[in-house]
Amino acid sequence: MTARELSKRWPNIRPWLRVNPETETINDEYHQWFFAKSFAQPPRPELAAAYDEWADFYEFQLEQRADELARDEHKRGLVEDWTEEMTYTARRCAAEARGEDPGDWVPQRQRRPDLYAAKEARVANIFATLDAHP
């Protein structure tokens, strides 16, 4: 993805995205954006749009890593969990930035029981492996 394509797809967060020309991956500087932009008082439509773009960006990143993550169940689980938490949080923040009430926080185990069950299975597998090799 080129810088121009980034600008078109995610114009509000483009300054905090970097294309690595060698690997063609996109590195983000969310933490810098957060401290630079996220403390504005709502309603702020441009802040809401940026949070929505962060959610879209992280979902895009997960899709781009599908082949890599298919080879490693544990890494895939960690990345899926992290991505889901980031997108959920970003969408809640977008709602607040629009002046909306995002409602109560719903734990991941309730909103995504599939991810929670997969995480529990991975942990059980790790413990079973440890128990098998005293």
pLDDT of residue 21: 84
Q: Is the pLDDT of residue 92 over 70?
A: yes
Mean pLDDT in residue range 57-65: 95
Mean pLDDT for the chain? 91
Provide the pLDDT for residue 24. Answer: 78
pTM of the predicted model, to two decimals? 0.86
Average pLDDT over residues 98-124: 95
Q: Does residue 3 have a pLDDT over 70?
A: no
Cα separation, 5 vs 9, whole angstroms: 6
Structure tokens at 2: 């080129």
pLDDT at 118: 94
Contact between residue 86 and residue 58 where contact means Cβ atoms under 8 Å apart: yes
